[in-house]
Structure 1
Amino acid sequence: MDESAAPNLYDVAVIGGGINGCGIGRDAAGRGAKVLLLEAGDLAQGTSSASSKLIHGGLRYLEHYEFGLVRESLSERERLWAIAPHIIWPMRFVLPHVKGLRPRWLLRLGLFLYDHIGGRKKLRATQTVALTGHPAGAPLKPEFTNGFVYSDCWADDARLVVLNARDAADKGADVRTRCRVTGFAREGNNWRIEAGGETFHARAIVNAGGPGVLRVLEAGHVPDSNRMRLVRGSHIVVRKLFDHDFAYFFQLPDGRIFFAIPYEDDFTLVGTTDADHQGPLDHVEASVEEIAYLCEGANRFFRQQIAPADVVWSYAGVRPLIDDGSGKPEAATRGYRLELSEVDEGAPLLNVFGGKLTVYRHLAQEAVDRLGTRLPLADRSGWTGHEALPGGDFPTDGADDLCAKLAGRYPFFDPMTIRRIAKAYGTLAFEIFGEADAMSDCGTDFGHGLTQREVDYLRAREWALTAEDILWRRTKLGLRLSPGQQATLGNYCLEREAA
């Protein structure tokens, strides 16, 4: 193909709008590449909005001897916290000792390694605690008398994806959602890509399809011998089971673990499961059995008992794990592999297999470094580790100060709304609400502090099209808005789309 005849020639076309795809798009755009990002649905619509919402080393991975993965993950925690302190913040986790399971000395040894192999600086070290006199012990059954408290970070996973896409777009990337790739083939020295009824051309393709990575290859008729293990992780949300800021890391007799995490002020998030997934990827749901399993797990530890009828929301995502022959799903590696096509095959194709939320930035950096051996990119490797994501340009200890400034500037918002918009948008909140002096300046009030001004921003700047995009990925207000309020928002989105 004559490049002069292809005005829409991109340097890199990234297929997949999850955390890895958006991270790669951001990194490449920041190195001067002309980037096209193609996502079949909404950003973070799949696995990347269905995680346990943690930026963590993966304490349990030590048991499977994945020391390299744990070290890499731990080294990323404080780095990500520093570039996105609005959507990532520290959390203390309580690990109760369970008699008859892993001995206390083994847990303490694992936590000692956890504290020391990842370059921890600001996060607090592990403590041994007597739960009988600790605030986190009160909601637990009386037999849990001893435990440990260690540090990790919590994250708004879907917003982390969107902010990477927003920064990529701010650096020139062309982000296309609802634009499914239906085929691609090498044409001359480049790629011809069919997506969303349009034709695009790119010098290189990155296949970041997540659990659909092999299906993307099928669309391009690219043979591949890799085997992926698709493992479904399900979560439930219930009314809060405890009234403090600690999270819990629990061990179960079957060898699995799960978390109970403070969530959106009034709720508790419980998860996750590990089940091999055989079904479709478009609409993944927690099974009846998984919901019951999580309820039973929580009931082993908490005084307050829950049943499936108490679940106010459940969600599930499929993790794209490299098939390493592990017997149990929870033992399969959470590592990743990048495969770049050979030079003699023509235009580069980079496939991303595996990965986890915590290491997305490092994965993206490595992926773009690999592309840099075949494309002329600016020498800026590592830049994503110190430049803030949109709205994150304030200190890691500055969240309270930001909330105070927002409350002073927009006193018509209640304290819960102030906290929500600070955690979602950081300093961008001043751009969104601008010179508004009253709720009436923000247009229609859809409920619980969600206004037309915010919705219009999400539509214009964050690729949100539907009420579902807004309620469950850009915000979590689906937990709060009534069916009538949700319908009003849905109708507004439809009207705006038709205008």
Structure 2
Amino acid sequence: MTQPDDIAPYDLAIIGGGVNGAGIARDAAGRGAKVLLLEARDLASGTSSASTKLVHGGLRYLEYYEFGLVREALGEREVLWRIAPHIVRPMRFVLPHDERQRPRWMLRAGLWLYDHIGGRRTLPGADGIRLDRHVAGEALEADYTHGFEYSDGWVDDARLVVLNAVDAHERGAVIRTHCRMTAARRENGLWHIEAGGEAFSARALVNAGGPGANDIDRLAGLVPARGLRRVRGSHIVVPRLFEHEYAYLLQQPDTRIVFAIPYEGDFTLIGTTDADHSGSLEDVHIDARETEYLLAAVNRSFRRDVTRNDIAWTYSGVRALVDDGSGRPEAATRGYELPLSDEADGAPVLSVYGGKITSYRHLAEEAVDALSKRLPALRGGPWTSKTALPGGDFAATEQPAFIAELNARYPFLSPADATRIARAYGTRAEWWLEGAKNWDDLGIDFGAGLTEAEIAYLQEAEWARSAEDVLWRRSKLGLHMSGAERDGVAAFMREGG
């Protein structure tokens, strides 16, 4: 299997369509490289759509002295809000003080450090609160009387991946989904890659396979440069537990923390767990022990108890953590390493080990900077911190005004519909709404505000192929649909709609 002689090799082939692979593709394409991204399934089909949806520094990592990691991530919060104001937004978190857990002085000191080491400019700082006088205290058990509130951010993680891929594509990158790499070898100064029954060649290779990175190394005949620890994080989604827009960070008796976050209007997202994962990466699910852990965390803190019967949805992902020998999975570093092969080895390979979604852009920048020393096609320096992702070309503080303007332009949209569409597509909502005077102009109505016009856009511009791609990654409309409505979307897409 060979690539035809008349097809010039790519400068860079990236294996893996998660947030790191898509971020590297965007950065490299914007610096002039001819980029190929190969993803075995759908974009963000693994870990990158299974996060807690937070843009945050990781307050708890301060306990493990991960000051550099926290500083870097905190510095990225406002960068991501600036370049993607449609899918990133600030959120205030409430941290109740539990006398059986960390002392109040420790929480206060940690939040002071959190506010000051990361270059916070716009987000409001932390403050002490009386929960018996605060709206967020109304949902909590009565013995929580004091606490703190602080700032972090929320992100639509799967859309973050897709928008990076869209931008990379519009800058010349070739994005191939459902194209699994089966072999790679170095020969005559190039990487020769077999994927999806086709042959490709590239001057350099990036292994961005996440929890499968070591497997990709072996397919390419490489000895993994770092060991990986696969840690599963699981979440449950239940009907809304509180009416306000604050999120909670809840301390647990085993010293872990669990978030409870307003989600999709009608729900509360609860997570995450930390469990070593030794099974398949193809089908990752929450187990009974994780479910009970999250239910207990909620019931320990909130007045309203939840049971298994209340769970509307669950999702799980496997994090690829650098194996640093930590005993407990939650103590393993969330940092990353980007080893680049020696020049003497021939065509370069850069592997991505570890990382977290908040730091993806900075990681990508570091990776492309390193590759630029070996790839003449990579011209210019960093650029992604100041350039909006597709649809994000409006000021971060103007999201409410943007939603109101979209609703005024398309008055047949309900305020909830306008909010969802604006937060998903930003200014690119016009690409499939333009000219519509009513719902009928958008074609078939599948329920929950999903129309034929939106599906067509997702297929043509965002590589969506299946109902799962549309309902659970590029949107979360599956949560708001009946089983019959979800089946209708699946049948429409199977039939080539």
1:208-287 → structure 2 map (5 Å cutoff): 208-287=208-287
Instruction: Give the TM-score normalised by the residue count of structure 2.
Output: 0.98
Indicate the residue corresponding to 2:409 in structure 1.
409
Distance (Å, rounded) in 2 between the aligned partners of 1:224 and 1:424: 37
SS of aligned partner of 1:245: coil
* Structure 1 segments unaligned to the other structure (5+ residues): none
In the alignment, does 2:492 pair up with 1:492? yes
SS of aligned partner of 1:185: strand
Tell me the CA shift for residue 222 of structure 1: 1.2
Indicate the residue corresponding to 1:183 in structure 2.
183
Tell me the CA shift for residue 382 of structure 1: 2.1
Letter in 1 for 2:473: R
Tell me the CA shift for residue 82 of structure 1: 0.1
Distance (Å, rounded) in 1 between the aligned partners of 2:461 and 2:269: 29
CA contact (8 A) 2:225 2:339 kept: no
Tell me the CA shift for residue 3 of structure 1: 10
Tell me the CA shift for residue 5 of structure 1: 2.5
CA contact (8 A) 1:6 1:201 kept: no
Indicate the residue corresponding to 2:46 in structure 1.
46
Tell me the CA shift for residue 223 of structure 1: 1.7
**1:365/1:225 Cα in 2 relative to 1: closer, same or farther (>3 Å)?**
closer
Instruction: Give the TM-score normalised by the residue count of structure 1.
Output: 0.98
Letter in 1 for 2:173: A
Distance (Å, rounded) in 1 between the aligned partners of 2:201 and 2:221: 17
SS of aligned partner of 2:316: strand
Distance (Å, rounded) in 2 between the aligned partners of 1:150 and 1:293: 25
Tell me the CA shift for residue 432 of structure 1: 1.7
Indicate the residue corresponding to 2:451 in structure 1.
451
Deviations 1:451-491 (A, max 9, x none): 00000000000000000000000000010111111111111
1:433-444 → structure 2 map (5 Å cutoff): 433-444=433-444
Letter in 2 for 1:324: D
Percentage identity across aligned positions?
57
SS of aligned partner of 1:150: strand
Indicate the residue corresponding to 1:79 in structure 2.
79
In the alignment, does 2:60 pair up with 1:65? no
SS of aligned partner of 2:411: coil
Indicate the residue corresponding to 1:323 in structure 2.
323
Distance (Å, rounded) in 2 between the aligned partners of 1:355 and 1:228: 12
1:334-345 → structure 2 map (5 Å cutoff): 334-345=334-345
Letter in 2 for 1:358: T
Task: Count the aligned residue pairs.
Answer: 497
CA contact (8 A) 1:8 1:200 kept: no
Deviations 1:109-153 (A, max 9, x none): 000000000000000000100000000000000000000000000
Deviations 1:61-81 (A, max 9, x none): 000000000000000000000
SS of aligned partner of 1:5: coil
Letter in 1 for 2:105: W
Distance (Å, rounded) in 1 between the aligned partners of 2:453 and 2:381: 37
Indicate the residue corresponding to 2:127 in structure 1.
127
SS of aligned partner of 1:496: coil
**How big is the alpha-carbon RMSD for the aligned residues of Structure 1 and Structure 2?**
1.3
Tell me the CA shift for residue 377 of structure 1: 3.6
In the alignment, does 2:461 pair up with 1:475? no
Distance (Å, rounded) in 2 between the aligned partners of 1:341 and 1:237: 43
Distance (Å, rounded) in 1 between the aligned partners of 2:173 and 2:264: 32
Distance (Å, rounded) in 1 between the aligned partners of 2:434 and 2:15: 35
Write out the 4+ residue segments of structure 1 that deviate beyond 4 Å after TM superposition.
none
Indicate the residue corresponding to 1:367 in structure 2.
367
In the alignment, does 2:333 pair up with 1:333? yes
Distance (Å, rounded) in 1 between the aligned partners of 2:5 and 2:468: 40
Distance (Å, rounded) in 1 between the aligned partners of 2:189 and 2:72: 36
CA contact (8 A) 1:82 1:395 kept: yes
Deviations 1:178-217 (A, max 9, x none): 0000000012011110000000010000000000000111
**1:230/1:474 Cα in 2 relative to 1: closer, same or farther (>3 Å)?**
same
In the alignment, does 2:2 pair up with 1:7? no
- The farther-off stretch of 401-410 and 201-210 is 401-410
In the alignment, does 2:35 pair up with 1:35? yes
